[in-house]
Amino acid sequence: MSDSKPATGTLAALEAKFSSKLSEGGTGKKINRRKGEAVVPLSVCEPDTFDEPPVIGLEGLTSQQEFEAMKAASDGASAGYSMAKAAMRTLNGEPMRQRQRDLVWECLGFGGRAVVVNAYLVQCTGAGAADLGKSLGITEED
């Protein structure tokens, strides 16, 4: 499809709303990302790491961030963990830098990381458990 033909309908509306080319009539508006949080019970974190249950602030990833997270994953099974880790933005309301994110990820332990992954999948994708099951070919009858 040639880029010279103007978009119509939904495509035109998206381009007008989010185009970074203000000279072409776009607003340059940033796409809002879904946000969520995971309150991780101390009982699933590594021992003697957190003094109170950590609250991990999450934000949906851009397609580029998703790609980078998937590249960082060793295989398809670990992609969800890699994406959830990349989505971590805050610890108890305090912004995290990359090396801090790595440290927090380790301190969470396996159980804590599972809590964060689940929160990311539900809160930052907007998909409920039934939707996630459908995407995996799982139905309630299974």
Residue 19 lies in a domain: yes
Residue 141 lies in a domain: no
Question: What integer pLDDT is reported at residue 62 of this predicted model?
Answer: 85
Residues 63, 130, single domain; the answer is yes
Residue 48 lies in a domain: yes
Residue 140 lies in a domain: no
Question: What integer pLDDT is reported at residue 105 of this predicted model?
Answer: 97
Residues 67, 9, single domain; the answer is no
Residues 49, 5, single domain; the answer is no
Count of domains observed in the chain: 2
Q: Are strands 88-91 and 55-59 parallel, antiparallel or unpaired?
A: antiparallel
Low-confidence residues of the chain: pLDDT under 50 = 1, 142
Helix axes 79-87, 63-72, angle to 10 degrees: 130
CB 70 within 8 A of CB 82: yes
**Enclosing domain of residue 41:** 35-135
Question: What integer pLDDT is reported at residue 137 of this predicted model?
Answer: 56
Residues 106, 45, single domain; the answer is yes
Question: What integer pLDDT is reported at residue 30 of this predicted model?
Answer: 73
Residue 68 lies in a domain: yes
Question: What integer pLDDT is reported at residue 74 of this predicted model?
Answer: 82
Which pLDDT tens digit goes with each residue over 101-116? 999 999 999 999 999 9
Residues 48, 108, single domain; the answer is yes
Question: What integer pLDDT is reported at residue 28 of this predicted model?
Answer: 59
Residues 96, 112, single domain; the answer is yes
Find the DSSP H helices in 79-128. 79-87, 98-119
